[in-house]
Chains A and B, each alone.
Chain A
Amino acid sequence: MKYEIVSPRIGTPGDTYEPVDGVNVEALVAGGFIIQSPTKAPKGAKTKTDTNEE
């Protein structure tokens, strides 16, 4: 799970937050200090469509 910094109290907003050992990440999310980075939907397999009408 990736997190993005929101509050400058933690780091530069927009940067990726790397959780440190012992840090309560859930509390950081609940407090609005970081957010979960939006995850991209996996691309589907490419399929070739035959357009040749023979």
Chain B
Amino acid sequence: MATSTYLSSPNVTVNSISLQDQCHGLTFTRTIEALESTAFGSGSRVYVAGLENSTLSLDLYLSFAASETYATLKNLVGTSTTVSWSASATSPGTATNPTMTLTGAYLEALPYEMALGSLGQISVVFTGGIYSVVEV
């Protein structure tokens, strides 16, 4: 049985900036909205595909240093950008290591907390955009 184990090399780029060394978790949910089209005579609910509305959540360490997490994200709030990720940074874009991309994904908020003695972290959510996969 083949499985995927994420040890050290998954890659993620936000606005073409690699945040591999700051990211420690990623959740992607591909969503195509369900529009109900149930009509008289149906014995169960029926749906058709609506608009795509996928989300990508990134868990990052929050560094305020130059060229790090905050510098990458601060100017993206309220705008759309391109986000890409792959299970391994080595030879991405292949059948066994596809590169997934959300083009035109919207970043609504940049929420973070600062607590004494804790490591700064931030979770950001990119919403919408066009989903594509490169797996040549």
Chain A contacts to B: CB under 8 angstroms: 7-10, 20-24, 26-28, 30-33
> Is B15's CB under 8 angstroms from A28's CB?
yes
Given A9-B67, A32-B67, A33-B17, the answer on whether A24 and B103 have CB atoms closer than 8 Å is: no
Contacts of A33 in B (CB 8 A): 17, 67, 71-72
Instruction: Provide the bound-state CA to CA distance between A21 and B79, in Å.
Output: 14
Whether A28 lies near B17 (C-beta < 8 A) is yes
Given contacts A21-B82, A22-B80, A22-B103, whether A31 and B72 have CB atoms under 8 Å apart is: yes
Q: Is the interface of A mostly helix, strand, loop or mixed?
A: loop
Total CB contacts across the A-B interface at under 8 A: 55
User: Please, which residues of chain B bring their CB within 8 A of the CB of A23?
Assistant: 15-16, 81-82
Instruction: Name which residue of chain B comes closest to A27, CB basis.
Output: B75
Q: Does B74 contact A (CB under 8 A)?
A: yes
Interface size in chain B (residues, C-beta < 8 A): 18
* Bound complex: CA A37 to CA B75 (Å): 21
Q: Within the assembled complex, what's the spacing in Å between the Cα atoms of A37 and B82?
A: 23
Query: Which chain A residues border B81 with CB–CB below 8 Å?
Result: 22-24, 27
A20 and B17 contact, Cβ closer than 8 Å, known pairs A7-B67, A31-B71, A32-B66? no
